[in-house]
Chains A and B, each alone.
Chain A
Amino acid sequence: MILKRARTLTWVSAAIILISLGFLILVPQLFVGNSFLISTFVFANIYSILAMSWDLLSGYTGQISFGHSFFFGIGAYTSALLSMHLGWSPLYTIPLGGVMASLGGLLVATPALRLRGPYLSLITLVSALGIDQLIRVLKLGSTGAEGAIQCEIDLATGVNHCVPPISANEVEVYYFALGLMVCIAIFLIFLVRSRIGLAFEAIRDDEEAAEAAGIDAKKYKILAFMISGFLAGLAGAVMVHKMQQASPGLVLDLNISIEAIVASVLGGMGTILGPVGGAYFYILIRELLRPFGQWRLFAVFVIALLILLFIPRGVLAEIRLRLMHWIKSEKPKEPQQGARA
């Protein structure tokens, strides 16, 4: 009975996910020529990747990061500089951005892992602030203004030289972002269900007990940092090719770190798909309700506060927990409990 219910549930969730995915695949057909909306969905996918990457490190492994813009920015700048100055295709420079972000994570995380809890979070926050200033000081951007990389017109030829887009066709960019997001989601769902994911969760729940169970906590934490950094770096890299420019304000702002956290918390930490829902919710409200000005962001944060107060686990995590109770309440003696779920 228990397993039967669990299997039914698996089918229902699979159906819901497939319907949502079907809708997302049809977006360019449903809103032909609506560049603004298609762009908004591209941003939603980028933020989904960022939020999932945060969820792996913070939701699953318990290493709360306040500075995911660190990875996002390293990926963004790496890809922007390589593609603009070496002329490489974004299809190569985006993964390289991820690799650089991953290495950046390794560099910062390895010494920081002896710290736990709020101290580790502070290290991530300060790292993000540090790289922001570094980029500004180095004046990496060819225009020299505060490290921004913008389009330059070559005076001799009159050619406008920008960070290249992934594709000139906005629909192709859309499918690239959606495809990447879906592949990463599938990868992460397999990862967290594997024994590696189990080790991550053991470390989150009780690091000392995990060590007592024979788990090399440091090794698994570094792995979590590197995978999370890689994915956030990919998100940042896609972002610069979408915007065709990079600047500290665009890809290194602390707001980005906060937005990743808000999206994950809204959807439910430790669920992978919850942060995707949270990111879509956040970006769609932020972009589609622009006529309401700053009020829309205020509204998002009020909703976030209400969710934190009443559904602290996040929306998807709460649904999952209730369904778990429903699966268990198989005894016909308790019809109310079954009916409620």
Chain B
Amino acid sequence: MSKAGVINGAILQFDGVSKSFGGLQAINHLSFDVREGEILGLIGPNGAGKTTIFNLITGVYHPDQGKIRFQNTEITGWQPHRVVNAGIARTFQIPRPFHHKTITKNVEIALIPNAILSHGLSKQERSDTVSQLCAKVSVCKIFGTEGCHLIEDGFCDCMFEFPSALPHAALRNLEIAKAMATKPNLLLLDEPFAGLTMSEVDDMSALLRTMKQEGRTQIVVDHNMRGLMRLVDRVVVINFGQKLAEGTPEEIAKNPAVQEAYLSGSSN
């Protein structure tokens, strides 16, 4: 969140990146910037390369060409956990909770430091952080309480519940709580609205706006254009691994090239 050392307000620079899988050129010399504090929407037809971009940023894939810089540090080719600890967290398109651990432990896992002998947070600090995060995303709402009451010693009252007890929307919230526990400056959200009802989309948008106010920059990929366009500050449109257009949601909605890509895509 510190302004120091960030050129032109760009928190993340995606600079001439290419990635191919066998004969498929998934990302082709793509460049875009993410500005500090904004919510950037990343849209494009199926197979345009949106999730590949996330995997390139988070180090799951390594680019064939080009550079990725985060807060002016080159992070190209870093291991996923190193990228996370540098301040970039992601959520998955399909929620991936740790099924055999309780909801609170799921969040606590994201607080584990990698220095095996360091103490990190104290037990109390950890459980307080977990409870606050669970409360913030209201992951335990389903269990009949508003948010997550701190019933005793900072324990969450869903501490004995497992992710399998959660409905889809709450699993998406749990993903966000896990990502937030790593204290990211940049949050990558892969289809956060997928499978949500209209009112759940509104709740999720409100949550993402709150996080924006706290200074967390976000990149959101989604097919739900209505929910996305109301949420984001700027949009980058991707098609066949290349940038098709970039601008405010209003500009994008009027852009003939974007309409072409989407209409030709949907007419098939």
Contacts and interface: CB of A to CB of B under 8 A. Distances in A.
A316 to B, nearest CB: 15
A198 interface: yes
Contacts of A211: 79-81, 84
Contacts of A212: 58, 80, 84, 89-90, 92, 96, 179
A214 B100 contact: no
A3 B151 CA distance: 10
A129 interface: no
A205 B100 contact: yes
A215 interface: yes
B152 interface: yes
Nearest to A324: B160
A199 B92 contact: no
Contacts, number: 88
Contacts of A270: 100
Q: Interface residue tally of chain B, by bracket?
A: 35 or more
Contact of B114 (A3, A201, A204, A214): A214
A195 B181 CA distance: 15
A195 B82 CA distance: 18
Interface stretch (A92-100, A104-112, A138-146, A216-224): A216-224
B101 interface: yes
B105 A198 contact: yes
B160 A327 contact: yes
A210 B157 CA distance: 24
A214 B85 CA distance: 6
A63 to B, nearest CB: 15
A214 B96 contact: no
Given A202-B109, A214-B112, A324-B160, A209 B98 contact: yes
B195 interface: no
Most buried by A among B58, B109, B113, B116: B109
A196 B114 contact: no
Nearest to A62: B100
B178 interface: yes
A2 B160 contact: yes
Contact of A205 (B60, B101, B111): B101
Contacts of A3: 151-152, 155
B160 A214 contact: no
Interface residues of A, number: 28
A223 B151 CA distance: 36
Interface in A1-27: 2-3
B110 interface: yes
Nearest to B178: A213
Contacts of B217: none
A204 B160 CA distance: 20
A85 interface: no
Interface in B29-73: 58, 60
Interface in B157-208: 157, 160-161, 178-179, 181-182
Contact of A202 (B101, B151, B152): B101
Nearest to A205: B98
A214 B155 CA distance: 23
A213 B109 contact: yes
B98 A206 contact: yes
Contacts of A318: none
Contacts of B92: 209, 212
Contacts of A324: 160
Interface of A: 2-3, 195-196, 198-199, 201-202, 204-206, 208-219, 223, 270, 324, 327-328
Q: 8 shortest A-B CB distances, which residue pairs? A: A214-B84, A211-B80, A213-B110, A205-B98, A209-B96, A216-B114, A202-B109, A216-B81
Given A209-B98, A212-B90, 19 more contacts: A3-B152, A198-B109, A201-B100, A205-B100, A209-B92, A210-B109, A211-B79, A211-B81, A211-B84, A212-B89, A212-B92, A214-B112, A214-B114, A215-B81, A216-B79, A216-B82, A218-B79, A219-B114, A324-B160
